[in-house]
Amino acid sequence: MVLMHTNDKRQENGGISLMKRLFAILLVLVLAFTSSALVMAKAKEGPPSVCVVVGNASDKSFSESVARGAELVSRKYGAKTKVIEYGSDETKVLPTLEDLSDGSWDIIVVAGYNHLENVEDVAERYTKQNYVLLDTQIGPGYPNVYAADYKGNEGAFLSGALAAMVTTASTDEMPYANPEKVVGFVGGMDITLINDFVLGYIQGVQYIDSEIKVITSYTNSFTDAGKGKELAAIMYRSGCDLVYNGAGGAGLGALEAGKEAKKYSIGTDSDQALLFSNDPEKANLILASQLKSLDEHVVQLVERIMAGEEIFGLNESLGVAAGVIQLSDNEYYNTNVPQWMRDKITELEELITNGEIEVITAYGMKDTDVKRIIDGARP
């Protein structure tokens, strides 16, 4: 009798255990279906509305690239978009963000390291509004903000390698090259963001030829094209046959100086040769531009949201491997840069992507060490 009772108990417990397992499986299936349904529902909602806030949407550089992202999203997906310009008065940024954060926009995009505090401010107060902050990262505790910075040092390394190949080329290959082994860099500000470019540029130059010198100067402005032109002109007179700029709108002056000196330039952020296609003399001297493809990144973010991905609360750092940082590949590059140089750039991109080349960065480096590298590369 006891044995039969024990067997009955085991059968009863086994039945309960089986029911628990079936219930657990059913629960997993329900959750999976619900999750998939939510993702599909988000995807079916269509593209999010996007408002971009920049200084000058026609600066032929950084801000214009971001603004073009809104245009691409509208053209590709029919999304509601808008670009708001605050000009040179950065005190307008915070009240502009406050006005926009009333729920009219799914995403508000702000670009520039100098707007970190503004985004932190509104993100804390308007917790239901989603923000995208480009070109810098944000600290923890902002679940309604997606932030990304870019490995500009990697693109600068490629620019430096190209500059080194150009300055050491024969005049048969590069008609405006000279015998002096010296190239230049015009930066916007003596800050970590720009010096990250400088260090990558110097490393790229000296990866090709350790004897090449690099002259570095700063405009102390991202808008003063006159100062950019003045500094680049000094470099050309000092023996540089190529100047690379990382100075936003101020860098446009460096491109003009290149045209007047009949020497080479490398642009930045936007494909600056294409932007001057109506001026063939200038465009043909801009051998390449180091692209920070902010426009494509904005499109990518919208696509990730449409696919149901939760991007807000994330910080990302993107470079060559992500396809966001690269040299422009246009008709001017393909016509004016010899094939062997272009092949070398492709090879270097692959080496950076697979980790065989690690580009140095100014981030986390002592200011004294940054200065030592920059000064050590001077003629």
The answer on pLDDT for 340 being more than 80 is: yes
pLDDT at res. 59: 80
For residue 103, what pLDDT is reported? 86
| pLDDT for residue 2 | 38
**What is the pLDDT, as a whole number, of residue 26?**
41
| DSSP summary character for residue 320 | G
Tell me how crowded residue 127 is: count the other CB atoms within 10 A of its CB: 12
Mean pLDDT within 198-220: 98
- In the chain, % of residues over pLDDT 90: 82
Query: What average pLDDT does the chain have?
Result: 90
Residue 12 has pLDDT above 60, yes or no: no
Can you count the helices (H) and strands (E) in the chain?
14, 12
Identity of the residue numbered 142 = Y
Same CATH fold assignment for domains 50-150 and 152-292+324-376: yes
Give the pLDDT confidence score for residue 135 in this predicted structure: 92
DSSP label at 47? P
What is the C-alpha to C-alpha distance for residues 177 and 207, in angstroms, rounded to an integer? 19
Residue 310 scores a pLDDT above 50: yes
pLDDT band at 42 (very low <50, low <70, confident <90, very high): very low
Mean pLDDT of 285-291: 96
**What is the pLDDT, as a whole number, of residue 58?**
85
User: Tens digit of pLDDT for each residue in 58-101?
Assistant: 887 788 989 999 999 999 999 999 999 999 899 999 999 999 99
> What is the CATH code for 50-150?
3.40.50.2300
Question: What is the separation of C-alpha 179 from the centre of its chain, rounded to a whole number of angstroms?
Answer: 34
**Helix axes 192-208 and 152-167, enclosed angle (nearest 10):** 40
**What pLDDT was estimated at residue 276?**
94
Residue 29's Cβ-count burial label (10 Å; 0-12, 13-18, 19+) is: exposed
Q: Where are the domains of the chain?
A: 1-44, 50-150, 152-292+324-376
**Per CATH, the architecture of 152-292+324-376 is what?**
3-Layer(aba) Sandwich (3.40)
What's the rounded Cα separation, in Å, for the pair 176 and 282? 13
Sign, Cα dihedral of 161, 162, 163, 166: positive
Chain-centroid distance, C-alpha 16: 57
* Burial degree of 190 (CB within 10 A; 0-12, 13-18, 19+): middle
Mean pLDDT of 297-307: 96
CA distance 82 to 51: 5
Beta strand 81-85 with 50-54: parallel, antiparallel or unpaired? parallel
Model pLDDT for residues 235-254, shown as the tens digit of each residue:
999 999 999 999 999 999 99
Instruction: Name 186's Cβ contacts closer than 8 Å, sequence gap at least 6.
Output: 217, 218, 219, 228, 231, 232, 235, 243, 244, 245, 246, 247, 250, 251, 254
pLDDT in the model for residue 60: 75
What pLDDT, on the 0 to 100 scale, is given for residue 62? 83
Mean pLDDT (whole number) for 99-105: 93
pLDDT value of position 15: 47
Residues 138-151 have a mean pLDDT of 96
Asked whether residue 32 carries a pLDDT value surpassing 70, the answer given is no
Percent of the chain with pLDDT over 70: 88
What pLDDT, in 10s, does the model give residues 315-328? 999 999 998 999 99
**Confidence band (pLDDT; 50, 70, 90) for 270?**
confident
Q: Mean pLDDT throughout 271-285?
A: 95
Determine the pLDDT at residue 307.
96
